[in-house]
Amino acid sequence: MQEHSPNSILQNTIVIMINLKAVFIRNLERIAYPAFLLWINILQIIIIFLCVISPIIPRTRKLKSIIMFPYAAIGSDGYIRRFLEYVPFLEKNNIEFYICDLFTDDHFRNVFSKPKYVQYWFYIDVLWKRILQVLKARNYEAAFIQRGLFPLYYDLTYPYLERLLRKLNSNITIDFWDAVFYSQPILVENTLRYVDKVTLTNDFLLQNFKKYKKPVYMWKIAVNTEQYFPKTDYSIKNELRILWTGLFHNRTHLINHLPILEIINKIIPVRLIVICSQSISHPSLNIENYTWDSNTFFKLLNSADIGIYPENISIHSQGKSTMKVMDYLATGLPMIGVPYGLAPEVVNEEHLLISYNETDWIENYKKLIADQALREKLGRAGNNLIHSVYGLNSSFDIFNKIIFSYYPPVYDKKY
């Protein structure tokens, strides 16, 4: 008779418990999904009922100025650049506002690292909170929506919340800064039935939104220039410090770019600085990984020699407004990038060097390595562009005019 050691019995028990837990979670998710759909449908019925009784929902005698609905999580780049940075301007101009926050960026990341049933409850909680927030819109002169009122929910084609908001408010603006019309075309088309104005961030979006026959306004993403440390030293020391920053799901573009950096590493030692929530590594490249932190981010930008923006062409990349580009320009960091996702005023060989293929990338690296005057020229021109066109003061002025007074929409021209 074979004897089992206490350790082997313990290990087998642990394996059995892990398997039982996995089975339990799978079964729980099977049960949770129908329950989740039931709750979503119940909440949508509640929204429809509120639409019906909306004329009798009480409102205050004196309306406040604007209620704002972020899509982005508190602490994320989209929240900071579209909401938080404008708070001082709203307060300074005595504009009564209310920002309808839902969740923090850390909470969002934590939820989506958990099993599906946790995410289902998150969606229900978000929808219920948004219903209560939308009801407040009756007491405001204007409403501003970032992308959509039900953030992150993937299986949505009809904008129930936007329909309710329309019943409660007669001045609604919706803001898009990426190509969601491609990933959720039915939802976008239905949503636009319930809004008055659309704000966009680049010409690619402008051309694609013309078909919806809504007043369209260009409200570019602004830059808080006070946060940055403009470069003054454009010399390259013993190694070439190349910087890339971005979201974790964009790491693929950088990883695909590493073979080019291997070639450059044979010309001059390369130190790649990566600012991302997930690190990368490479056997023949010296890579420093950092997570985004306001205490170090702007210093790292200043310490680099070249900023890079590698990406594959797609509807998404053409429609987005690439924040790393704005960061590089605001720092005065010489940049090499692809020709899409750029701000409309950014010009090749004036503010950056554009690369269309691998050969271009290698040649542009060589140009910048060899020519300090070119590095300084590009860097200073980029910094001047940000200060002259993308400052928060002028951006808030445009936003204020779009929301509260007549500001001619654009269809083909830039401003």
Structural domain includes residue 74: yes
Distance CA 254, CA 245 (A): 9
CB proximity list for 103: less than 8 A, separation 6 or greater: 73, 74, 111, 122, 126
Indicate if 356 and 313 belong to the same structural domain: yes
Structural domain includes residue 85: yes
The predicted structure's pLDDT at residue 5? 59
Indicate if 77 and 175 belong to the same structural domain: yes
Indicate if 386 and 396 belong to the same structural domain: no
Structural domain includes residue 97: yes
What confidence tens digit (pLDDT) does each residue in 88-119 have?
999 999 999 999 999 998 898 899 888 888 88
CB atoms within 10 A of CB 273: 20
Model confidence at 186: pLDDT above 70: yes
Indicate if 73 and 203 belong to the same structural domain: yes
Indicate if 215 and 301 belong to the same structural domain: no
Structural domain tally of the chain? 2
More confidently predicted of 405 and 244: 244
Strand partners, 83: none
Give percent of the chain with pLDDT exceeding 90.
63
| Structure confidence at residue 190 as a pLDDT band (50, 70, 90) | very high
Indicate if 367 and 404 belong to the same structural domain: no
Indicate if 71 and 182 belong to the same structural domain: yes
Q: Across residues 264-270, what is the average pLDDT?
A: 96
The predicted structure's pLDDT at residue 315? 67
**What CATH number has the domain bearing residue 94?**
3.40.50.2000
Please give the structure tokens belonging to residue 40.
């979503």
What confidence tens digit (pLDDT) does each residue in 217-242 have?
999 889 999 999 999 999 999 999 99
Model confidence at 346: pLDDT above 60: yes
Model confidence at 182: pLDDT above 60: yes
The predicted structure's pLDDT at residue 414? 43
| Structure confidence at residue 370 as a pLDDT band (50, 70, 90) | very high
Q: Among residues 201, 202, 189, 197, which one has the least CA distance to residue 172?
A: 197
More confidently predicted of 415 and 82: 82
Indicate if 216 and 257 belong to the same structural domain: no
Structural domain includes residue 37: no
The pLDDT mean for the chain works out to 88
Domain hosting residue 267, numbered range: 225-390
Model confidence at 15: pLDDT above 60: no
Indicate if 403 and 319 belong to the same structural domain: no
Model confidence at 257: pLDDT above 80: yes
HSE on the CB side for 148, CA within 13 Å? 23
What confidence tens digit (pLDDT) does each residue in 396-413 have?
999 999 998 766 666 544
Structural domain includes residue 240: yes
Could you tell me how many residues make up the chain? 415
Q: Across residues 177-192, what is the average pLDDT?
A: 85
DSSP 3-state assignment of 174?
Answer: strand
Model confidence at 1: pLDDT above 60: no
Q: Which of 76-85, 179-188, 358-367 has the lowest mean pLDDT?
A: 179-188
**Which DSSP helix (H) or strand (E) runs through 1?**
none
User: What's the CA angle centered on 357, arms 353 and 360, to 5 degrees?
Assistant: 45
Structural domain includes residue 189: yes
Indicate if 169 and 303 belong to the same structural domain: no
Q: What are phi and psi of 157, to 5 degrees?
A: -125, -20
What confidence tens digit (pLDDT) does each residue in 48-95 have?
999 999 988 888 888 999 999 999 999 888 899 999 999 999 999 999
Please give the structure tokens belonging to residue 197.
């104005």
Structural domain includes residue 178: yes
The predicted structure's pLDDT at residue 413? 45
DSSP 220: P
Indicate if 383 and 404 belong to the same structural domain: no
What confidence tens digit (pLDDT) does each residue in 305-338 have?
999 999 877 666 676 677 899 999 999 999 999 9
Structural domain includes residue 45: no
Indicate if 291 and 366 belong to the same structural domain: yes
The predicted structure's pLDDT at residue 307? 97
The predicted structure's pLDDT at residue 205? 86
The predicted structure's pLDDT at residue 411? 53
